Chains A and B, each alone.
Chain A
Amino acid sequence: MPPYVVKDKCDGCKGKEEPLCEQICIGDLMTLDTETGKAYCRSLRDCWDCMSCTKLCPKGAIEQRIPYQLGYHGAKLIPMMGTDSITWTCVDINGKVERFTYRTRNKK
C-alpha cells in the first residue's frame, strides 16, 4: 500500500539531509526530493505498507492509500501515535468511521 506525501504538510523535516521517513523506510523507498525539499516514495509499487513512515511523520503528512488493484478509492487508515498507545481511525468507502485504541508499551 503505497504512501503518498501531502505537499502542503511536508516540510522535509526542516530540510535535513534525511527526513524521518527516509531514515526509517524498510525498503529504502522514501527519500527527499532536493528540488522541492519534500519527501516522496520513489517506487510506489514496491511499498510493503508497514506504515512506519506514516506513524513517524511529525507533520502527519503521509497518507497510506490502497492500490486500486485491491480496493476502491476513498478509504482511509490514520494512525495517531501516543507515548505508549496508538489510536487508529479507519474510514470506509461508505463513510463509516471506526476507531481503535490500545496500549503498545507496558507501564514502566
Chain B
Amino acid sequence: MKKSLPKTIKDVEEVRIETDLLIIGGGNSGCFVAIEAKEKNPNLDVTIMEKAHIDRSGALAAGMDAINTYIGEGETPETIVAWSRAQVGGGPLREDLALSNANILNECVESLEKWGVPFKKDEKGRYKRRGRFDISIHGEQLKPVIAEKTKSYNPRILNRVAATNLIKEGDRVVGAMGFGIRDGKFYVIKAKATVVSTGGAAGLYRSATNDGTTSHHQMWMCPFNVGTGYAMGVRAGAEFTLMEQRWCAARVKDFTGPVDTISVGYKARMINSKGELILQERYAHLGGDTAPRYIRANAPMSEWSDGRGPTYVDTRHLSPEQVKDLKIDYLNERPTYVLFLAARGQDPAKEPLEIYGSDPYIVGGHTASGYWVDTDRMATIPGLFAAGECAGGMPNKFVGGCAAEGVLAARGALKYISSVRHGDPDENQIAAEKERVFFPLVRGSGMEAKYNIPAGQDPRWQYDGVTPEEMEERFQRLMDEYAGGVGQFFKFNEEQLNYAIKHIKMMRDQVNRLFATDLHDLVLVHDVIDRLDVAEVVVMHLRERRETRWPGWQTRTDYPDVDPNLDCFINSRKNLKAGEIEMIKRPYEQILPGDRTKAPSPIPLSAEKA
C-alpha cells in the first residue's frame, strides 16, 4: 500500500500496545521463545515484532539442510560443550550457558520433527549423522513449520514492524519502540520483559562480490539481519562480550554460501591449486582436518595470500548419487548454489569446488559474540533478555542451539515477569525516539529538488543529502580495509583500527544527513545507523584484544601471538553519561575439567560415512 508520507513528525500516527512478553525478531529463536512462553503460560500476552513476515523471515528463509548440534548416541551434553570449547581454541566461552543449553538441546531439535520437518534416517531408523554432532534434514519448510507452530498459540504477531530502540525506565528495560514498514506508524510497546532475538549482524563488512550490479547482498548470512538487536542494547548501555570474535568462515567462493555441507557432510578436503591437502600440510599440529574452526576458516586465505591459490574443497571422489544428495542439501539451504553451479556448467564430480573466506559477521550463534547474559539469559539491564544469536558467551549454537536458547530465554523471562509490573516510561524518551526514527523520512518528504536529474533516473539524486546506500558502501569498504575484512585477508593493526573508529564516528555524526523518500528507504537508513553502532563496538573490541588468539576471526599483525593474560572475556558497555564505550575484562570460569583445546570423541569421525 503506497502511503502518503508524513510531512512533520506530528503527522505520524502512533500505535501503543501493552504486553507481558515482547519478542523482538520472529526468527528461529524468537519463535521458540513465544512457543515456550505460551506452553508454560497460555494466558500470557505475547507480542512478536517482526521486520519481515514471520513465515519466512530471518536466516532460515530458504531452509536448512542440517542441524549442526544434536547430541547423538555415545555423546553427552558434556562432550558437546567440550567440543565447542575446543572448536574455539579452548575459549573463552561461558561453560555455564553452554551446559544449560546442551541439557535441553535434543528435545528442542526433536520437536522440529514432531512439527513436520523430515529428518533423514539411517537403516536403523536413527537420525542420520553426517558429522559428529550434525544430522541431516530436508528443511525447505523449516521456517514455515516453526511459524505455523508459533501462530497456533495466537501471539500478537506484528509483521513488517521494525524495532528501533528499547524503552528504559531508570535502569530497567520496559519495552521497545519501532515503526511500521507498511503502515508508517510509530509503535510503542510496553512490556514486562523484552527478549531480543534479531539474529546476527551481516553487512558490517564489504562482501567479496558486492561490486556486481545485482550481487550487492551476495553473502553467507542473511543481509537483512543488520544487528539491530545488538545496536539497541549498545545504545541502552547493556554489556556485550567477545564482539571481537568475528565469524569469518571459509565459504564457496564468489557465491559465499555454506561449505560445511560439502566438507563435513561429504568429506571433501581442502586443497590448493597444487593439489596439496592444506589442513594436513600446514595445520597437522593443530589437528589437521579436525583443527578448530578458525583455522579451517583462515586456511584458504593464507594460501591465496601466499600465492598458492585458488583453493578448493575436493569433491572429485563423489559418486553421482552423492552429487545429487549434495545438491539436494543445497536446495534445502541455499538453493541458488545449484543454479550457480549450473550457470558455470560445473559438475562437482569432475571439478573441485572453489572456496574462499567470507566477509566477517557478528553472529552469536557461531561464535560467542553478543549480550553478556546470566543463565536466565537476562542481560545486564533488568527486564532485557537475549536469545539465539543475540546471546553472547556461547559459540557453536547453530539452529538447534538457538532454538534451545529461545526456550531458556522464555523461561528466564517468565520468571522475571511474575515479579514485576509494567513500567511507566517517560514520554520525552518516546517523543525523542519518534523524532529520531522519522526524521530522515520527514526530511526526505520536505527536500527541495536542487539538482537536474532526467526522468528515468533515480529521483533521489535531485536532493542534497546522503542516501543510505552511499553511507553503507563507504562504511563497508572502511571496515574491509581498516578492520580486517576479507579484502585484507582478515588482518589489521592498531593504527588501522584507530582510523576505522575515527571514520565510523564521523559517519555517525552525519547520520542526520541521511534521507528517505519512502518507508523502504527508511528501513535502509536505520539499517546503516544500527550497523555503525555495532561496528564501533566491534572495532573497539578488536583493538582491546592485543593478541591473536583465533587467527582469521581476529588476526592482529602487530600482536601475532597468544597473550596468556588475555585468557579472559573482553566485554564492553556504553557509558550513557559520557557517551563513550568502556572496555571491561571478565575472568574465564572453567567448569568441565580437562584440556580445553581437546575434545575427545567417543566415536571416531572416520568411521561415520556421509
Contacts and interface: CB of A to CB of B under 8 A. Distances in A.
29 contacts: A24-B53, A24-B56, A25-B52, A25-B53, A28-B520, A28-B523, A44-B213, A45-B216, A45-B217, A48-B219, A48-B224, A52-B55, A67-B214, A69-B213, A69-B215, A69-B254, A70-B215, A71-B344, A72-B345, A77-B338, A88-B338, A90-B339, A91-B342, A93-B342, A93-B345, A98-B324, A100-B324, A103-B138, A104-B140
Interface footprint category on B: 35 or more
B246 to A, nearest CB: 20
Interface in A39-98: 42, 44-52, 64, 66-77, 79, 86, 88, 90-94, 96, 98
Interface string B341-356: 1111100000000000
Interface stretch (B85-93, B113-121, B400-408, B507-515): B113-121
Interface in B227-267: 254-255
B141 interface: yes
Contacts of A71: 339-340, 342-344
B269 interface: no
B441 interface: no
B335 interface: yes
A70 B216 CA distance: 11
Interface string B197-226: 000000000000101111111110011100
B257 to A, nearest CB: 10
A11 interface: no
Interface string A21-36: 0011111100100100
A27 B254 contact: no
Contact of B343 (A34, A48, A70): A70
B214 A2 contact: yes
Contact of A50 (B51, B61, B160, B214): B61
Interface in B48-87: 51-53, 55-58, 61-62
Interface string B558-570: 0000000000000
A85 B588 CA distance: 48
B209 A69 contact: yes
Contact of A70 (B117, B217, B328, B340): B340
Contacts of B486: none
Contacts of A17: 1
B30 to A, nearest CB: 14
Given A67-B214, A68-B213, A105-B118, 12 more contacts: A26-B52, A47-B217, A48-B217, A48-B223, A50-B56, A52-B62, A69-B211, A69-B212, A69-B215, A88-B338, A92-B342, A93-B344
A42 B336 CA distance: 20
Interface of B: 1-2, 51-53, 55-58, 61-62, 113, 116-118, 138, 140-141, 145, 160, 181-182, 209, 211-219, 222-224, 254-255, 324, 327-328, 331, 334-336, 338-345, 520, 523
Contacts of A86: 140, 331
Given A2-B214, A64-B336, A105-B145, A77 B140 contact: no
B56 A67 contact: no
Nearest to A70: B254
Contacts of B344: 71-72, 93
B181 A28 contact: yes
Nearest to B118: A103
Contacts of B339: 1, 64, 66, 71, 75-77, 90
Contacts of B58: 26
Contacts, number: 164
Contacts of A79: 335
Nearest to B328: A100
Contacts of B57: 26
A98 B340 CA distance: 14
A48 B222 contact: yes
A69 B433 CA distance: 40
Contact of A34 (B2, B222, B340): B2
A24 B55 contact: yes
B138 A72 contact: no
A71 to B, nearest CB: 3
B222 to A, nearest CB: 6
B471 to A, nearest CB: 15
Contact of A90 (B118, B182, B255, B342): B342
B209 A88 contact: no
Contacts of B2: 34
A49 B62 contact: yes
A90 B338 contact: yes
A17 B2 CA distance: 9
Nearest to A71: B343
A94 B145 CA distance: 37
Given A68-B212, A100-B324, A105-B118, A51 B62 contact: yes
A13 B388 CA distance: 36
> What 3 A-B pairs come out closest when comparing CB atoms?
A71-B343, A69-B212, A50-B61
Nearest to A54: B335
A90 B342 CA distance: 7
A23 B182 CA distance: 10
Given A23-B53, A49-B336, A67 B520 contact: no
A13 B227 CA distance: 33
A73 B334 CA distance: 19
A51 B223 contact: no
Contacts of B1: 17-18
B556 to A, nearest CB: 32
